Amino acid sequence: MSETTVSLMPEIQEFLAQTHGHFIDNAVVPSRSGAVMDDVNPATREVLTTVARGGAEDVDLAVKAAKRAFEAGAWANMPPNQRGILLWRLADLIEQRIDIAAQLDSLDMGMPIRQSRYGTTPMAIDHLRYMAGWATKVEGRTIPVSAGSFFNYTVREPVGVVAAIIPWNFPLLMAIWKLGAALATGCTVVLKPAEQSPLSALMLAQWAREVGFPAGVINVVTGYGSEAGAALVAHPDVDKVAFTGSTEVGKSIMKTAADRMARVSMELGGKSPNIICADANIKRAVSGSMLGIFMNQGEVCSAGSRIYVARAIYDQVLEAMETYAKTLRVGHPLDHRTQMGPVVSDEQYQRVMHYIEVAHREGASLIAGGGAMSEAGPGYFIQPTVFAGVEDQMTIAQEEIFGPVVAVMPFDDLDEVVSRANQSIYGLAAGVWTENVRTAHYLAQRLKAGTVWVNAYHVYDAAAPWGGFKQSGFGREMGSYALDLYTEVKDVWIGL
Ligand code: NAI
Ligand code: MG
């Protein structure tokens, strides 16, 4: 399907035609250097638009704006119910314009419109509303101290200026996961969206201004990780870095932040195991597990990329997975029939193809896919790919691919599969398929992962905490746990 048969909404066309500067102090400003960078449409490989390519000077302006707004108290000292109302109004505005928001992300990074329109954008709206409610509920405690005659209590204060650095896989949702809790607690933010998908963050900032967010509370600097991103992490006035992205970059950010003890939270990569037991409902397990890997082209930190199947049902499950993968509709992201779009960029396309080549070389057997999908269009389309005969030590069983490639392996007993599942540097999520309640609880207890789904995969909720064990990171976004990431506890002693 060509771009001409997929019509862009007039609001999108108008937005694309704008000059995309940074968003600082409620104004759109070009880079100080005048530099711009291309933003590519992954479905066509064509340049969609250009955006400002930020550097240290732009970052400095944005951080100063955020610091001014924080210190002047226009946000932190605003009555919390007013902060909550603004967050709620922003959610309402996104809801009114949900088709625009959904189309923009699909265009920019390739997720199927069905997913952005009915999945991730509604989740982003819900998340803002959930966090709006927390603005009035960030409470301290009174502590019964034994040290003498004192009244002791705690207050939770906003940590200050937050640098939010986000990836390209869910552009609007990732922005809102960071903004929601940071803003609810009274922090101000400089957001650095990924260079592959900067548009929805820029649009969101304009919408926030429209509903009345004060200047400097939400700032957006676009640019490359090594330039704008690195400058932001190194800026002395950034109190906290909230990062989602690769484990490798996460480690380098921690090192930089360590010098000034800036707070960090890390939502990083994964190689999540998904275990299908012999007593599972096979039909549900197969479709759930295929969604678990192929949703968003496999570009999900929690993708269930290692599937362990009980040997008794292995052949049957593999056959069903083959059929599923071969019939999944890969196509233009803006086509409502599409179930899987292109991967985000040429770099990502090459990376995924490389892993497929390595899998062949190491002796895995290809069950479905395994190549480019040029019939879907000129973009970065890859076939849904299933490998069987995968050994635990093979590269595709260990490294995060972040694409539509899954490794399927048989197992014989529960203790064996637990130990194999846990043999990973990562620990973000895990899936379990069983009709036996004892097996369900046993596996949920023993798997080393921040989230365990039983008879489900890829379910998320604003109220449920999200984050990793091990090298998948630390800190929990979403739920009340997220408030901890953006607040400091102050303990006060009153001598009586
Ligand atoms: P990345 O980690 O390089 O990029 C994520 C964000 O960090 C982007 O906004 C980027 O501009 C920024 N960044 C990059 N280098 C930086 C630096 N030195 N200082 C500050 N910010 C920096 O991820 P990339 O290159 O887009 O993808 C590479 C691989 O990372 C993927 O194939 C996947 O395996 C993994 N990844 C995992 C994600 C997750 O959600 N856990 C999201 C994106 C990528
Ligand atoms: Mg793009």
pLDDT digits (tens, 9 = 90+) for 471-481: 999 999 999 99
Q: How far is the CA of 108 from the centre of ligand 2 (A)?
A: 4
Number of Cβ within 10 Å of residue 67's Cβ equals 19
- Whether 370 contacts 364, CB under 8 Å: no
In a domain, 89, yes or no: yes
Overall number of domains in the chain:
2
Question: Are residues 289 and 203 both part of a single domain?
Answer: no
Q: How far is the CA of 401 from the centre of ligand 1 (A)?
A: 13
- Whether 110 contacts 343, CB under 8 Å: yes
Q: Given the residues 277, 301, 400, 477, select the one marked as catalytic.
A: 301
Domain that holds residue 411: 273-462
Q: CATH code at 79? A: 3.40.605.10
- Whether 159 contacts 488, CB under 8 Å: yes
Question: Are residues 290 and 226 both part of a single domain?
Answer: no
Contacts for 279 with CB less than 8 Å, ≥ 6 apart: 434, 435, 436, 439
Question: Are residues 277 and 255 both part of a single domain?
Answer: no
Cα distance between residue 11 and residue 240, in whole Å: 35
Q: How far is the CA of 81 from the centre of ligand 2 (A)?
A: 36
Nearest CA to ligand 1 atom 35: 246
pLDDT number for residue 74: 86
pLDDT number for residue 237: 98
In a domain, 30, yes or no: yes
Question: Are residues 154 and 259 both part of a single domain?
Answer: yes
pLDDT at 1 over 50: no
Question: Are residues 264 and 277 both part of a single domain?
Answer: no
Angle in degrees, CA 379, 385, 388, rounded to 5: 165
pLDDT number for residue 351: 98
Q: If phi over 0 gives left and psi between -120 and 50 gives alpha, with beta otherwise, what is residue 383?
A: beta
Contacts for 429 with CB less than 8 Å, ≥ 6 apart: 270, 272, 302, 304, 449, 450, 451, 452, 453
Taking all residues of the chain, what is their mean pLDDT, rounded to a whole number? 97
In a domain, 73, yes or no: yes
Cα distance between residue 187 and residue 181, in whole Å: 9
Question: Are residues 339 and 369 both part of a single domain?
Answer: yes
Q: CATH code at 352? A: 3.40.309.10
pLDDT at 2 over 60: no
- Whether 331 contacts 108, CB under 8 Å: no
In a domain, 108, yes or no: yes
Identify which has the larger pLDDT, 179 or 73.
Answer: 179
In a domain, 467, yes or no: no
Nearest CA to ligand 1 atom 11: 225
**Residue 5 — pLDDT band, cuts 50, 70, 90?**
low
pLDDT number for residue 167: 98
Question: Are residues 289 and 248 both part of a single domain?
Answer: no
Question: Are residues 434 and 324 both part of a single domain?
Answer: yes
Q: Is the dihedral of CA 426, 427, 429, 435 positive or negative?
A: positive
Question: Are residues 264 and 384 both part of a single domain?
Answer: no
In a domain, 35, yes or no: yes
Ligand 1 atom at shortest distance from the alpha carbon of 252 = 18
Cα distance between residue 203 and residue 21, in whole Å: 11
Active site residue 187: no
Nearest CA to ligand 1 atom 8: 194
Cα distance between residue 239 and residue 237, in whole Å: 6
Lowest-pLDDT range of 3-12, 295-304, 424-433: 3-12
| Closest listed residue to residue 402, CA positions, set 264, 255, 245, 258 | 245
- Whether 223 contacts 52, CB under 8 Å: yes
Residues near ligand 1 (Cβ within 6 A): 165-169, 192, 194-195, 224-226, 229-230, 233, 244-246, 249, 252-253, 268-269, 301, 351, 400, 402
For residue 256, give the amino acid letter: T
Cα distance between residue 310 and residue 274, in whole Å: 11
Cα distance between residue 257 and residue 163, in whole Å: 11
Question: Are residues 257 and 279 both part of a single domain?
Answer: no
Q: Given the residues 227, 267, 400, 477, select the one marked as catalytic.
A: 267
In a domain, 291, yes or no: yes
Q: If phi over 0 gives left and psi between -120 and 50 gives alpha, with beta otherwise, what is residue 332?
A: beta
**Residue 252 — pLDDT band, cuts 50, 70, 90?**
very high
In a domain, 34, yes or no: yes
pLDDT number for residue 117: 98
Active site residue 267: yes
- Whether 83 contacts 186, CB under 8 Å: yes
Question: Are residues 132 and 264 both part of a single domain?
Answer: yes
pLDDT number for residue 4: 45
**Residue 412 — pLDDT band, cuts 50, 70, 90?**
very high
Question: Are residues 100 and 125 both part of a single domain?
Answer: yes
